Every structure is written in structure tokens, then in C-alpha cells.
Amino acid sequence: MRRWWRVRAGDAGFLVVGVPMALVGGAYALAALYAGVLLSLTVVGLPVTALALAGARELGRPHRWLTGRLLGESVPVPGPAARPRGLVARIRAALTDTVAWRTLGYLLLRLPLGVLGLGVLLLPAACGWLLGFPLWLRLLEQGPHPAGPLDLLAPLLGLALLLLTPPLIRLAADANRRLGRHLLGPARDQQRVQDLEAARHTLLTTGAERLRALERDLHDGTQARLVALAITLSLADDTLTPAADPRLRTLLDRARTQTDETIAELRALTQGLRPTGLDAGLPEALTALAAGCAVPVEVRIDLPQRPDESVEQTLWYCAAELLTNISKHSGATTAALTLTATATRARLTVHDDGRGTANTTPGHGLHGLADRLAAVDGTLRISSPAGGPTAVTVELPLTL
């Protein structure tokens, strides 16, 4: 019974505050549709419709905020609208923008819901009039008024409407809540993309943390024990007397050699798990890579902010692979490595004056780079004509 009477302040507040927004949004949606249909046979019809859809998408922002603030319904923010190059491409992208059409539908449906919600809030006033109908009738009109059926039915109707007001408020708020949830958020395929991107970021972050922990365990645990074993074998070799069995000394020497080889392989393995040079930052790591290249490399780095750790590792691996290819296969005499960044994306370009013909044929290193970049929304562009020069450009987002 208590729940039947309970009304959230936010629900009633939304029905009141949302009325002006519903009127403005509904008027905009009707005007946009009217103009689109009216001008559909003219040259300006499609551009006007595209502009109206872009405006509808922006009008969804305050409605999303109000739905979350007062109704407690957290609506996910849709992804940004596509902005391809060229006027025709932008108009086409706006006309096929699912989010904009869904928002336009929301604005149309929100108008009658807003009016109905306001009507529900006005019910208590009507209830007060009905409850006091016999009194108002006798106060406003002169003369005798004998008791009639309305004197009994009007208060009963007012009482019934008063009892129905709380559930009607909740019903109107729930309708607006569901409308915002289904039309103001991203479409199902867009939501799936966002979920997959979030899952990918989690997997990349978790994988990087596990690799760092594995590297630390191998370095501080297994490698340290192997070094201790090598020292023990050296001490055992030193304690052998000249009269000791030569076969024993041979076995000890073999064990020491195998232990040293295992330590070297383990060090190479731990360095491959995560580049240790990245601890000091990507610019220092790339500078160290360039210094180790067999070809002189000019390094130019302009990186205002530090990327995500997974992005840093991807850039480092790409630079390492490209510089290795220059050393082994290009026949170049000079090379250049350039790293720049905008507010959202990083661009790595490696240029050399070698013989060219670099490609992404399956089985080659550049093909592996393309696969690695695809996992982080990156792109790989190659310009490598026969006879050179070669320029490979890697571009990927700063954050995932």
C-alpha cells in the first residue's frame, strides 16, 4: 500500500520541467519533417533535412541529461556523428544517421507524453474541485439547491481521481523513462560496438598488467635463481681438485654453459614481453631504438600527452619492426622517424631512402603490423615504389 502511494520527487519534477522542453522539441521535430517533405522535390530538400537531423541529434543532449538527472535513467551517450570529407558525403552521412532519426522520433513522441504528464499533475486541482463541488455550487449560484445525485457522485469521483494520481504519475514517468532508454541512446549495433570497445580496452589493460607481472616474476624469481645456480656451479668447479674425474669437470662445464644460455634466452624473453625502455616514456624508448639501428636515423618527436599503455606498446613494436626492416632489407643509407599527435590520434612515420618494394604480403613483418594495428583501430599506409624511397605511416588513437 505504501508503494502504491509513493511518488518520486524526480518523477513529478520531470513532468513539470520537461513540458517546455517537450513543446520546443516537438515543435522542432514537426517543423523539420514539414520542411523536409515540403522541400523534398527541390535541390535544397536533402541538405535542409540533413541539417534538421543534425539539430535533432544535438537536442537529444539536454533530454538525455534531464532523463538521467530527474528520472534516474542513465542513458548511454551515442557515438559521435560521422564526419566524412566532402559536402555530399556529409549530407549522406547525416541522412543515414540512425541516432538522429531515433532522436527525432523521441522528440515527436515526447510532445504528447509531456502534455499527458502535465494533465496528470493537474489532477489534484480537479480533485479539489470535485470534492468540494456541492459547496462551490452553492457559493457561486444564488437560490436554493436541493441535494441531488451530483452532490454525491462528484466527491466520489474526486476521491477516486485523487487515489489514482500517484500511480498515474509513476506511469507517466515510466513511459518517459522507457522512451528515453530506447530512443535517446545508441542503436543496438552501436551499443554493441561500444560494449566491444570497452571489453577490448579491459582486455588490453588486463593483458598489459599481467605481462608486467609475468616479466617481474621472471626477472626477480626464475632469472635470479638461475643466476644463483650458475654461481653455485662455478663454485663447485673451483672446488674440484686436479685429481678429480675429468668427466665430472666436463659435466660441470656443460651445466654452466647451458645455464648461461638459459639465462640469456630468459632475458630476451622478458624483454619481448614488454619493452623496458617504455618505463621512461615513449620518446626515450624510440630514441633508444633509433640509436640501435644499423642505419643512421633522424628522430623527430612531438607528443604533447602520453598515450595509453597499450598504444605506447603498439607504437614501440611498430617502430622496432620498421627499423629492423630498414637494417636488414632496405639497403638504405639514411632514415627518419617522426612521431606526432593531435588531440585524439598519434601518427608514426618511418622513412628511408632504400630500394623500396615494401608490402603487406602475408607472412611478412608488415602484414603482422597491420593485424596488430587493426586490434586498436589503427591504420597502416605504405608508399614504397620500386627503387624507393619508402615511407610507412602508422596512425592510431591515443586512448582506447
- Residue 160: pLDDT over 70: yes
Long-range contacts of 190-193 (CB under 8 A, 24+ apart): 190/78, 190/79, 190/98, 190/99, 191/76, 193/79
Sheet containing 297-302: order of strands: 297-302, 335-341, 345-352, 390-397, 379-383
Whether 53 and 155 have beta carbons less than 8 Å apart is answered as no
**pTM value > 0.85:** no
Predicted pLDDT at 110: 92
pLDDT tens digits along 54-112: 899 899 999 999 888 888 888 888 877 778 888 888 888 888 888 889 999 999 999 99
pLDDT tens digits along 2-45: 454 566 778 888 888 888 899 999 999 998 888 888 887 777 87
pLDDT tens digits along 316-350: 888 888 888 888 887 888 899 999 988 888 899 99
Looking at this protein, which amino acid is placed at residue 109? Answer: L
Query: What pLDDT band is residue 1 in, cutting at 50, 70 and 90?
Result: very low
Predicted pLDDT at 108: 92
pLDDT tens digits along 173-216: 888 999 988 888 876 666 566 555 665 565 556 656 666 666 66
- Residue 383: pLDDT over 50: yes
Query: What pLDDT band is residue 312 in, cutting at 50, 70 and 90?
Result: confident
- Residue 122: pLDDT over 70: yes
Burial of 312 (0-12, 13-18, 19+ CB in 10 A): buried
pLDDT tens digits along 223-278: 677 777 777 777 777 776 666 677 777 777 777 788 877 877 777 666 655 666 67
Predicted pLDDT at 82: 77
